[in-house]
Structure 1
Amino acid sequence: MSKNLKGSLLVIIAGCAWGISGVSGQYLMSHGVHINLLTSLRLLISGLILLTILVIQQPNQLQKALTNRSLLLGTFLFSLFGLVLNQFAYLQAIQHTNAGTATVLQYVTPILILVLVCLKNRTAPTMVELLSIILAVLGTFIIATHGQLGNLAITPVGLFWGLFSAVTYVAYIIIPVKLIHEWGSILVIGLGMLMGGIVFPIFTQAWRYDIALGIGNNLLAYVGMIGVGTVFAYTAFLKGTSIVGPVKGSLLAAVEPIASVLLTVLLMKEVFYVIDILGMIFIFAAVLLISLKDLLAVNKNSQL
């Protein structure tokens, strides 16, 4: 197996693992686990595991980080406005729709970032970028209304949380850029998750809720959400993108909404109509256009 193929497979597997995470969260919430407890456990346990991996790989890195006030403050802000809000909003979207729909709605994030960049630089989008924006808006409209004005096909609450999860995902991507560049992603993400896993349950009193381990396949779903869908998915994605590059990695990771929809149908027995699939295809096509444009630009620059 070539190194490039290995990297591509790791990213694709990570995308599928993220799909498992969403379906596992939907299963747990439908079997008695409260969203506040679920968000707390995911952040706390994932943070502890990632920081343990960091200590094993780079024993002195965490000690240095804990004495750096700038890093701690920046990571805390990232934890609250990126990690915590995004995790909570995404699980809310799943609870009020389903894992497949919530994941697809969250995938309008690249389009939101594109719009922000155009506004910041005061530049008009290119024809490809404009087409991507139109496809994303059209796809979201179709999913929300089934193409009928004045008629919502999903609940207003579900639509709100789905789009809000996309907004918070923008914060998740943008806020820690400088910190990750200086300190590495495992440290920043792991420390941010741990901070969120400590602060969020204090505010929500998450310990009041039943962990419901003995109900159905809840234990397996916990492993799917935290072990497979967070820790494994994240480390596999990092390893894969270190081989193929971040642009190609982001393109390949777009398999996540496809995996999420398929798993939602197969495991949760959700029903998607043809019009739903059409809307999802539009959003997926919008993300692919942006990713392919970036990939072509990187390849062109590398050849110069």
Structure 2
Amino acid sequence: MKSNKFEGISLAVGGSILWGISGTVAQYLFNNFVITPVWIVGVRLLFAGLLLVTISTLQNGKAAWQIWRNKADRRQLIAFAVFGMLASQLSYFMAIQAGNAATATILQFTGPLYIIIYLAISQHQLPRRIDAISILVALTGTFLLVTKGHLNSLSLAPLAVIWGLLSGVSQASYTLIPRSLLQKYDAKLVVGWGMLVGSIPFLPIVATQVPHSFAGPELVAIGYIIIFGTIFSYLFYLQSLNYIAPATTGMLSSLEPLTATTLAILLLGVKMSGIELIGSILILATVFLQALPVKSANKEKTISNG
């Protein structure tokens, strides 16, 4: 059992690190090549979705198409693809282009804040004490990150802040919309179809805005984002849920922004002040605060951030 737990932790850590690296790789692409976030998101969703659906079909046969036969499930899957998968991927990569990988990834982690607010409104009850503390901590952290503590100025470009916060909102949608689907179908199937359907609006751009010439580093970076930053990172995360509780994987997912921030500072010359780092830590702390009340027996099926 101990070895299984170690394997689960290793998989969750590995998936989070691979996601974090993909954000830095994306910033490298945007800084050095003529590649748009829209094109890379379309390519990422298309090829990762195709592979996940293929894997699920090989494992489950015709059952992999069952999700399309139920009208309610079909509608929910399309909503997840558009307002969850497509929106979260596009807003995240736009935030990277407008700012940097470090702040984009950290602002994406405000997602739990919007989930708390949504659940409180939909269930007509005040947030729990730990939720209220999480909201306060997340808002304080976001304020410090985007203003460096000065009310009259922004340390980030307005577009970087807007896209970063939208990535947090869409991350909440990504988590909330497919909950009932995940109770009925394999998570690889739900996410694979979500990626594939989410790629459809991008297909004309993917086909017509192909870079004229692919240099070696450019190809490697794009390949990394699709293969390791999407497919393997997700599969590692999903596999980890077989060995450890979702609350544990949630805490370990904080390695994603930590990785993105460290690499952006070391390799891409991104600079963060002490105040910004404190704000980042406060935002990430909400992940741990939300995990505190969760009992280890909780086996609710979840999907990842990346």
1:206 is displaced (CA, Å) by 3.8
The answer to whether 1:270 aligns with 2:263 is no
CA RMSD of superposed structures (Å)? 1.9
Of 156, 159, 170, the residue aligned with 1:157 is: 159
Change (3 A) 1:213 1:86: farther
Of 188, 191, 197, the residue aligned with 1:189 is: 191
User: Which residue of structure 1 aligns with residue 66 of structure 2?
Assistant: 64
Provide Cα deviations, 1:93-139, integer angstroms capped at 9, x if missing partner. Answer: 00111111001001011121112222223333333322211110011
Q: Which moved more, 1:100-109 or 1:284-293?
A: 284-293
TM-score, normalisation: structure 1: 0.92
Aligned to 1:217, what secondary structure does the other structure show?
Answer: helix
In the TM superposition, 1:77-96 aligns within 5 A as 77-96=79-98
Aligned residue-pair number: 297
Change (3 A) 1:257 1:271: same
1:212 is displaced (CA, Å) by 5.7
Stretches of structure 2 that go unaligned for 5 or more consecutive residues are 300-306
1:201 is displaced (CA, Å) by 2.9
Change (3 A) 1:224 1:266: farther
User: Which residue of structure 2 aligns with residue 247 of structure 1?
Assistant: 247
Conserved in 1, the CA contact under 8 Å of 2:42 and 2:203?
yes
**In structure 1, distance between residues paired with 2:211 and 2:79:** 28
Of 119, 142, 145, the residue aligned with 1:140 is: 142
User: Which residue of structure 2 aligns with residue 20 of structure 1?
Assistant: 21
Aligned to 2:276, what secondary structure does the other structure show?
Answer: helix
The answer to whether 1:223 aligns with 2:240 is no
User: Which residue of structure 2 aligns with residue 121 of structure 1?
Assistant: 123
The answer to whether 1:38 aligns with 2:20 is no
**Following TM superposition, where does structure 1 have runs of at least 4 consecutive aligned residues deviating by more than 4 angstroms?**
295-299
1:294 is displaced (CA, Å) by 2.1
Change (3 A) 1:71 1:127: closer
1:213 is displaced (CA, Å) by 5.5
Conserved in 2, the CA contact under 8 Å of 1:14 and 1:232?
yes
Provide Cα deviations, 1:161-189, integer angstroms capped at 9, x if missing partner. Answer: 00011111111111111112111211111
1:222 is displaced (CA, Å) by 1.1
User: Which residue of structure 1 aligns with residue 56 of structure 2?
Assistant: 54
**In structure 2, distance between residues paired with 1:64 and 1:120:** 30
1:290 corresponds to which letter in structure 2?
Q
User: Which residue of structure 2 aligns with residue 180 of structure 1?
Assistant: 182
Change (3 A) 1:15 1:122: same
2:163 corresponds to which letter in structure 1?
W
Q: Which moved more, 1:48-57 or 1:10-19?
A: 48-57
Q: Which moved more, 1:245-254 or 1:88-97?
A: 245-254
**In structure 1, distance between residues paired with 2:87 and 2:150:** 31
Q: Which moved more, 1:261-270 or 1:77-86?
A: 261-270
1:63 is displaced (CA, Å) by 3.7
Aligned to 2:134, what secondary structure does the other structure show?
Answer: helix
1:295 is displaced (CA, Å) by 4.3
User: Which residue of structure 1 aligns with residue 77 of structure 2?
Assistant: 75
1:171 corresponds to which letter in structure 2?
S
1:192 is displaced (CA, Å) by 1.3
1:102 corresponds to which letter in structure 2?
A
1:230 corresponds to which letter in structure 2?
T
User: Which residue of structure 2 aligns with residue 302 of structure 1?
Assistant: none
Conserved in 2, the CA contact under 8 Å of 1:37 and 1:211?
no
Stretches of structure 1 that go unaligned for 5 or more consecutive residues are 300-304
Greater share of helix:
1
2:29 corresponds to which letter in structure 1?
L
Percent of aligned pairs sharing the same letter: 31
User: Which residue of structure 2 aligns with residue 106 of structure 1?
Assistant: 108
Aligned to 2:151, what secondary structure does the other structure show?
Answer: coil
